[in-house]
Amino acid sequence: MHRAGLVAVPIMVALLAGCDASAGTQQTLCRDPSHCLLGLDQLVTPDFTVAEPTHLVDVTTIAADGGATAQQLRRDGFAAAASIRYFRPTDLATANGPIDIISTAETFSSSHGAQQAFRSDIAHLDASSGNVPVSTGSLGDDAHADTLVRTDTTGIQAVQITLEWRVGNVLNVLIVRGRYGGTRLDDALVLAHRVTANET
């Protein structure tokens, strides 16, 4: 699902297929993860539609995509997760701004559990082939990003930006894809701050 790597989309054929917060702060926010997702009307670029509507994601899927096992996630207090995907049809060669966006939220019984899952995810993400860690600046209680660049059969480069951050007991993952040079971490951060506003 969200961290498994680039997925082929209609115009991206053959493409790419933080800091520590104090553990003393125990916030419990957004118990229903479907309320923690990026909304269609919060997207900055026009012409996006819902490609995959909001749906619950089970712990085994989260474990398969991230760095923790399902057993570890349960020990961390994993409660529930939800995801939504947006897409806009455009020519990748000239596209500016994101084309494909996946927003996922995972809730835990405590902020400490979410922090443990965050650390495991980031270690796994940074170790994945081709991923380049990038600083995010201030975002939530913990935040980290990685970029991955791939070239399609026509020579066009695409980028996938995976942004993961924690707000209290909620772990957020935002995947943004588009043309390399036309889609930036800044684009993902604008959206991430809007998600954070939903949660706080």
| 147's tokens | 């970029």
Q: At residue 149, what are phi and psi to the nearest 5 degrees?
A: -115, 135
Q: How far apart are alpha carbons 15 and 29 in whole angstroms? A: 36
Comparing CA positions, the residue from 89, 88, 95, 91 lying closest to residue 179 is 95
Q: What pLDDT digit, counting tens, does each position of 25-37 carry?
A: 456 666 789 999 9
Q: In this structure, what DSSP letter does residue 33 have?
A: G
Contacts of 181 (CB under 8 A, 6+ apart): 157, 159
pTM of the model: 0.85
Q: What is the pLDDT of residue 32?
A: 87
Comparing CA positions, the residue from 169, 174, 163 lying closest to residue 80 is 169
Residues of the chain with pLDDT under 50: 1, 4-25
Q: What is the pLDDT of residue 199?
A: 83
Q: What is the pLDDT of residue 19?
A: 34
Q: What share of the chain is helix, strand, coil (3-state, %, to 5)?
A: 25, 30, 40
Q: What is the pLDDT of residue 28?
A: 62
